[in-house]
A and B are shown apart, each in its own frame.
Chain A
Amino acid sequence: MAKIVAGVGMSHVPAIGVAVDGGNTGDDYWKPLFAGFEKSKQWIKDQNPDVVIVVYNDHATAFSLELIPTFALGCAAKYDIADEGWGARPVPPVIGHPELAWHMAQSLVLDEFDMTIVNDMEVDHGLTVPLSLMFDQPDVWPCPVVPICVNVVQFPPPTGNRCYNLGKAIRRAVESFDKDLKVVIFGTGGMSHQLQAERAGLINSKFDKEFLDFMANDPKSAAAISHVEYLREAGSEGIELVMWNVMRGAIDEDVNEIHRHYHVPASNTAVGHIILENKK
C-alpha cells in the first residue's frame, strides 16, 4: 500500500529560484532565508520518498484564461520547465508518476472530486522552486512528482475547506494504490504578499504565524479562513495559502511538527515553511 508519511508547507516565490540559479543563496539578502531550509534538505534526504505530490498554482503559464481548471492533476511521464517570460529555469525536467497519478485521478473522481486530467503541461516556478528548496541542485530530481494545480489566479479559488477535503480524498487515493510507495505531499504558495497596485508589499507576520500554528495544531481553523480574510489580511496574492490546506488534509489531524521557518522578505513576499510528520 502507498502511504503519505508527511506534509510540507512552503512558499514558492520566483525570486528564490532566480537566487538559486544565479548562485546568490549565500548573499546577505538571501542567506537567512536559505538557512531555514538546511534542516529540510537533510530531512527529505533521510525520508527518501518514492514520490512527492506537489500542490501548487500555475501562474499564467500552462493555463491561461482560455482554460481555468479549479483542480488539475498531472498524469504525464515528464514535465518540461516553462519559459515564464524571462527564460526557462536551468533545472532538470520533472519526472512524473503516471501510474500513481492515473490511479489518483480515478479514485478522486469516483470520490466526487472532479479533477481535470493533464497529460501535457509545462511547469513553472510554483512547482520548481519548492523542489529547489528541498532537493537543492541535483542533475536529476531524486524522485518522481505528481503535480496538482489549484486555481488561485481567477477569483474565486476553491475554499479552504474544499482544499482540506481534497487533501483527505488524496490520502484515500494514495492509500488505495496497491504498490508500496512512501509519499510526501507539499502544499505551496504564500505566505502574506501582495504583488499588485498601491497596496503592494503588504506583509502580515501575525497572520502568517497564526496560520503556521493552525497548520501544526488546528487544521480545521485554517480550513475555515474565508477568501476575504486571506485577501484582506494576507494580501491579494496571499490567498495562495489556501493550497496548504490540501497538504494538511492529506496527513493526520494530530501530527508531529518537525521544523518551522519564517522569513521576511523574499522579493515582495513573506516566506513560511513547516514540516509535519504523521505519528507512526
Chain B
Amino acid sequence: MSDSNDYKNIPGTYIFDAEQSRNGYHLNMFCMSLRHEKNRTAFKADEGKYLDEYPMTSAQRQAVLDRQWNEMLALGGNVYYTSKLGACDGINFQQLAAVMTGMDVADYRAMMVAGGRPIDGNRYKSEWEDGGKA
C-alpha cells in the first residue's frame, strides 16, 4: 500500500491533502457558508465586510475578491468548496472548469463533447515541461 507523495507529480492538479486542508480551512469554510441563501445575499451586498468574519490570509482574501480560481486552489481551496463561490456568481461547474484551464467556455465545452482532455501527455509534470498541456 503506497503512502507516497506520488500524487504531487500530476500536472495541473492540486490534491486536497492534509497540508492543503490545514492551509485552506478558513477559505473553504467561507465558501461553505455560501450554501445558504441569506449568506449569499450578505456576501453580495458587501464582500469585504463578509470576508472579515473569516480569518483567512491576505493572499487568500485577495484571491477570493479577484476570483483567482487556481490561486484559491494553490492556497488550500478545494474545488467542491470554491464551486460554491462560483455558484454564488452564477457560474456552473463546467464554466468554472473552463476558466481554470484558461480556455474559452465554448472551446472547453467543445473539447468535452469531443471526448475530453486526453490522458496521454497529461500524466506527469515532466510531460508539461516542454510544450505545455496536451
* Interface residues in chain A, defined as those with a beta carbon under 8 Å from any beta carbon in chain B: 14-15, 18, 29, 59-61, 64-66, 82-87, 153-156, 159, 192, 194-207, 226-228, 231-233, 236-237, 264-265, 267-268, 270
Give the one of A82, A85, A86, A265 with max B CB within 10 A: A85
Q: Which 3 A-B pairs have the closest CB atoms?
A: A203-B116, A198-B12, A199-B12
Contact B123–A200 (Cβ < 8 Å) = no
What is the interface of chain B, defined by CB distance below 8 A to chain A? 1-2, 4, 6-7, 10-18, 21, 25, 28-29, 31-32, 34-37, 40, 70, 73, 78-81, 83-84, 87-88, 92-94, 96-98, 100-102, 108, 111-113, 115-119, 122-124, 133
Contacting residues, chain B, for A228 (C-beta < 8 A) = 2, 4, 6-7
Contact A83 B13 (CB under 8 A): no
Q: Beyond A65-B25, A83-B36, is A202–B94 a contact (Cβ under 8 Å)?
A: no
A sample of 11 more A-B contacts (CB under 8 A), given A155-B15, A267-B93, is A82-B35, A153-B16, A155-B16, A194-B13, A201-B117, A202-B122, A203-B119, A228-B4, A231-B7, A236-B10, A270-B116
Q: Which of B6, B10, B124 has the most CB of A within 10 A?
A: B10
Partner of A64, one of B32, B37, B111: B32
Task: Return the contact of B29 from the options A65, A86, A192, A202 (Cβ within 8 A).
Answer: A65
Contact B12–A268 (Cβ < 8 Å): no
How many pairs of A and B residues are in contact by the CB < 8 Å rule?
A: 159
A153-B80 contact given A194-B13, A228-B6, CB 8 Å threshold: yes
Q: How many Å lie between the Cα of A270 and that of B16 in the bound state?
A: 22
Chain A residue nearest in CB terms to B85: A85
Bound: A237/B116 CA distance, A: 14
Residues of A within 8 A of B78 (CB): 60, 153
A201 cross-chain contacts in B, Cβ below 8 A: 97, 101, 108, 111-112, 116-117
Contacts A85-B35, A267-B112; A197 near B80 (Cβ below 8 A)? no
Closest to B77 in A: A196
A131 to chain B, nearest CB (A): 20
If A85-B34, A202-B122 touch, does A227 touch B2 (CB 8 Å cutoff)? yes
Q: Is the CB of B16 within 8 A of A199?
A: no
List 17 A-B residue pairs with CB atoms under 8 Å apart, sorted by A's residue number.
A60-B78, A154-B16, A192-B116, A195-B83, A197-B70, A198-B11, A201-B97, A201-B101, A201-B117, A202-B119, A203-B115, A204-B119, A206-B119, A228-B6, A232-B124, A267-B94, A268-B112
In the assembly, what is the distance between CA of A232 and CA of B80, in Å? 19
A134 to chain B, nearest CB (A): 22
